[in-house]
Amino acid sequence: MGHNITGHTTVKIADSIESEIARGRLRPGNRLPAVRALAQELGVNRNTVSAAYQRLAAAGIVLADGRRGTRITAAPPLAPATGRARPGPGVRCLEVGGPDPDLLPALGPVLRQLEPPVRNYGEETNLPELLEVGRGYFANDGFRKGRLAVASGALDSLERVLRVHLRPGDAVGIEDPGFLAGVALVRSLGFNTVPIGVDEEGALPDALHRALRQRVRAIILTPRAQNPTGASLSRRRAKTLRQVIARDPRLLVLEDDHCGPIAGAPAISVAYGHQGPWAIIRSVGKFLGPDLRLGFILGDEATVARLEGHMALGMRWVSHLLQHLVVRLWADRSVHRLVEKASRSYERRRTALLRALRDRGVHAFGRSGLNVWVPVVREVDTVQGLLQAGWAVAAGEGFRLESQPGIRITTSTLHPEESERLAEDLARILSPAEMSSVA
């Protein structure tokens, strides 16, 4: 790979590499020259180049990947792309992965009733009423031990816990296929990603064994409503996984229980009771509204204490306006009825598509949550074919590390009467040979 890296000091070499990234000449995934080779080319000591690479690694710009060299991470200092191309007129959008807006509580009436007091610096960061809500939320599922914290949603919680435990270059086990934003986040922090395969019952024990042999420092699991496959942990699988992680008491075990009460599956945990560091993350966005950037974190004493210490140096606290709003919504019986209705609706919509696909010989996964995963051979062709038929779905490429191709269909707004037509269109696009190969 050609490059224009220059400089004769640590700082100038590092600045040159950042400049190449900003100009687009070095892109995420590109490997930098070996330390020895670049040192010879620039006429400097190897330690000078090594120090430049270390400087960039500490900033999360590059990742030292052992014998495989040093490469640019997924988060160089470039402005991220914003927005999403919307499907054209007449195309049904089933690619976003979010809840049905019609099954979220209206915030206006509750906001008009709020009269939160004026708060100042130095006061308690979390409302006692909100902490009571959070403790009850976990306790109802049998999770009564541990320390509770409040952060700004699931991804914010995930990032903060990883930051206080890991350093750039550490390896993190990630479900494969797995949550697109979660994979990008882990890579952006400068961590190596190690795939952990999944099936309908969650992470595969053999895949977790292999990840531990690669000395991962943390694993991120989704106990239910796994995105994109809809997998949910069975009690038998969770027991096996707990036996695997028990062999490494230093391992950080994170669970992203993002759908909570609308997942359509019971709350089963691998992390809870782990002898080492652990945390279970639950946000309210999927059932109270994505704009409510608030999440609860239950974890061991040391992990949550370090997390709160980290927050005190930055954001300090989640807006008390949001805290008051969540407390008020949680106390509203009509909101609870709406959440129960949403859970039933999502279950009905998801299973209707699975049934329609099965009737046409199309293999698909989706035990819980808001999505259905369909293994395919020709991923791009399948997505394009469905788009021409009036359906916008998500290609599986962004969710995969080493797993096989597939597409993700979000069913949260897909009414059962639409499932028959969608299944018919997909079966028509997939060849008989392809359907037998993916099944």
Residue 337: in which H helix or E strand, if any? helix 333-359
**What does the alpha-carbon distance between residue 436 and residue 405 come to, in Å, rounded to a whole number?**
15
Structure tokens at 315: 């954001």
Fold of the CATH domain 92-101+335-438: Aspartate Aminotransferase, domain 1 (3.90.1150)
- Average pLDDT score over residue span 146-158: 90
What gap in Å lies between CA 289 and CA 328, rounded to an integer? 14
The larger pLDDT score, comparing residue 40 to residue 79, is at: 40
Closest CA to 271 of 130, 161, 371: 161
- Give me the architecture of the 10-72 domain, per CATH: Orthogonal Bundle (1.10)
pLDDT digits (tens, 9 = 90+) for 405-424: 999 999 999 998 899 999 99
Whether the domain at 92-101+335-438 and the domain at 106-331 fall into the same CATH topology: no
Query: What pLDDT score was predicted for residue 82?
Result: 42
Per DSSP, what are the bridge partners of residue 173?
194, 219
Enter the pTM of the model.
0.82
Q: Is the per-residue pLDDT at 143 higher than 70?
A: yes
Q: What is the dihedral of CA 358, 361, 364, 368, to 10 degrees?
A: 0
The CATH code of domain 106-331 reads 3.40.640.10
H or E element at residue 77? none
- Say whether the peptide bond before residue 228 is cis (omega within 30 degrees of 0): yes
* Mean pLDDT, the chain, whole residue set: 89
What residues are paired with 395 via a beta bridge? Answer: 407
For residues 20 and 5, the answer to whether their CB atoms sit within 8 Å is yes
Extents of the domains making up the chain: 10-72, 92-101+335-438, 106-331
Confidence label for 23 from pLDDT (cuts 50, 70 and 90): confident
User: pLDDT digits over 186-218, tens only?
Assistant: 877 878 889 999 999 999 999 999 999 999 999
> Amino acid letter at 21?
I
CA atoms within 13 A on the CB side of 327: 18
Can you say whether residue 346 is alpha, beta or left, with left for phi > 0 and alpha for psi between -120 and 50 degrees?
alpha
